[in-house]
Amino acid sequence: MLDMKWVRAHVEEVQEAADGKKIKIDITVLIERDDERKALLQHTEEARRRRNALSAEIGKLMQSGEREQAETMRAQVKELNEQLDQEEAKLAVIQEEVTRLQWLVPNTVSPDTPVGSSDADNVELRRVGELPVFDYDTRDHVELGEMHGLIDIPRGVKIGGTRSYVLRGAGLLLHRAVQQLALDLLMEHGFTPLEVPLMVREDALVNTGFFPTGRDQVYELHGENKWLVGTSEVPLVSYYADEVLDVKQPVKLAAVSTCFRSEVGSGGRDVRGLYRVHQFAKVEQVILCAPDAAESEKMLQEITGHAEELLQMLELPYRVVAVCTGDMSQKTYKQYDIETWMPSRGAYGETHSSSNLHDFQARRSNIRCVDEDGKLVYCHTLNNTAVASPRILIPLLENHQQADGSIYIPVALRPYMGGAERLILPEHEQGE
């Protein structure tokens, strides 16, 4: 949420951000409604003062025996109360409208954010790693997973419906291994690991900027005012809601969590395999720092670097792109995506996202710190996907497949896989 005084002074900039992010809001309407609210509030407060003054006068008149004049004033008070009831009802309606519009106001975007309408307009910044060259017929991750007994999608669908899966044996071990590798990496970089609630109250999603615009992506537990999170960013940021932090050194938090997303609006896209599923696991990194643009930009580069370091440890080729306005969410000020090469797609596929939100989340969540002048100010917040699985298993299996059907295990993962250097095909699959 942006400060209304700031919004009033930057109407064009905020409207441009809303239009770029495809958020349907007219900022001038918000300001007009807020002006109406202020005028009505002032009028009702003045009416209350008149009523209270009359009530006090009535008491004095009654004490002095001037009952007739007191009754006349009582009639005036009654009339004022009726008017106040009507005006307070109007005020409640317009306050609700102003609040609804305020929650829709997007974060503005950084000056170096590309302008565009979709992910096709994201701008490539760099490529790292060599694309694999195969001189034999390759298989996609589904075929490899089935051959090695790592993935069972039909039975997953039988149990949980579409976009469900089961990981078996070494498939589960790989899933757990990449998560532990990522967590260990973040702890080496000074992050504190947390186990957090995955069922959260609605205000946690509103305050972190996932509601109202992303409501259709989240599973609701009906009747409980609780929702299943699609990322542990929500509880990690909410951990410090309504608190004043010491951010002389950035506060660095990490969590490993199961995540749930409805994927509404993605029908027909990425339906094969593990790319777009309803349930997955993520290692998330969140930073809260001083509200200094240079400081949070530095943190953005740092957390993006951690994700890149992990991909290099997994020996996977990837690219980093600057996300354009039309591919950004309401809450984001600046964003990078990291896309990893997926041979079966013949393209890079998104595996990581890294965002700087400035004070957007902190304002909504009331997370503050003390500046150099001793004033309370709102912190900056940042987040990044250190790793998400099973999506990361797609490039991991496909890039590291071998001519004999085996799958090479990157050196960094071997300690988490019992020292194994590769996954060997079961005997009944060999020679086929």
H/E stretch holding 234: helix 233-238
Q: Which residue among 33, 163, 261, 368 is the active-site one? A: 261
What pLDDT score does 431 carry? 55
The answer to whether 116 and 324 are in contact (CB under 8 A) is yes
* 315: annotated active-site residue: no
Active site residue 51: no
Query: What is the length of the chain?
Result: 432
Catalytic option among 33, 51, 364, 391: 391
Q: Could you confirm whether 350 is annotated as catalytic?
A: yes
Residues 6+ apart with CB under 8 A from 10: 108
Cβ atoms within 10 A of the Cβ of 120, count?
Answer: 9
Local structure of residue 391 (DSSP, 8 states): T
Q: Are 379 and 247 spatial neighbours (Cβ–Cβ below 8 Å)? A: yes
Which of 353, 354, 365, 389 is catalytic? The answer is 353
Distance CA 232, CA 208 (A): 11
Q: What is the pLDDT of residues 87-119, one digit of tens each?
A: 999 999 999 999 999 999 999 999 999 999 999
Which residue ranges make up each domain of the chain? 4-104, 119-429
| Bridge partner list, 258 | 281
In the set 350, 355, 363, 364, the catalytic residue is 350
- Fold (CATH) for 4-104: Helix Hairpins (1.10.287)
Phi, psi (5° rounding) for residue 332? Answer: -90, 135
The CA-CA-CA angle for residues 26, 28, 33, to 5°, reads 100
Confidence at residue 50, expressed as pLDDT on a 0 to 100 scale: 83
The radius of gyration of the chain from alpha carbons, rounded to an integer in Å, stands at 28
Residues 6+ apart with CB under 8 A from 44: 84, 87, 88, 91
Tokens of 197: 């609630």
Residues with Cβ within 8 Å of 76's Cβ and at least 6 positions away in sequence, in order, are: 54
| 368 noted as active-site residue | no
For residue 269, the model assigns a pLDDT of 65
* 126 noted as active-site residue: no
- Among the four given CATH numbers 3.30.930.10, 3.10.20.310, 3.40.50.1370, 3.40.640.10, the one describing domain 119-429: 3.30.930.10
pLDDT, tens digit (0-9, with 9 covering 90-100), for 148-198: 999 999 999 999 999 999 999 999 999 999 999 999 999 999 999 999 999
C-alpha distance across the termini of the chain, in Å? 59
Bridge partners, 259 (sequence order) = 280
Please give the chain's pLDDT, 432 residues, in tens: 789 999 999 999 999 999 999 999 999 999 999 999 999 999 899 888 888 888 888 887 777 877 778 778 888 878 888 888 999 999 999 999 999 999 999 999 999 999 999 999 999 999 999 999 999 999 999 999 999 999 999 999 999 999 999 999 999 999 999 999 999 999 999 999 999 999 999 999 999 999 999 999 999 999 999 999 999 999 999 999 999 999 999 999 999 999 999 987 666 667 789 999 999 999 999 999 999 999 999 999 999 999 999 999 999 999 999 999 999 999 999 999 999 999 999 999 999 999 999 999 999 999 999 999 999 999 999 999 999 999 999 999 999 999 999 999 999 999 999 999 999 998 766 655
Q: Which phi and psi angles does 245 have, rounded to 5°?
A: -105, 155
Query: Which one from 48, 276, 319, 414 is the annotated catalytic residue?
Result: 276
Angle at CA of residue 188, ends 186 and 194, nearest 5°: 50
- Strands (E) in 261-406, as ranges, are 279-289, 318-322, 334-342, 347-356, 368-370, 376-378, 380-389
Could you tell me if residue 137 is left (phi over 0), alpha (psi between -120 and 50 degrees) or otherwise beta?
Answer: beta
Q: Using omega within 30 degrees of 0 as the cis cutoff, is the peptide bond preceding 212 cis?
A: yes
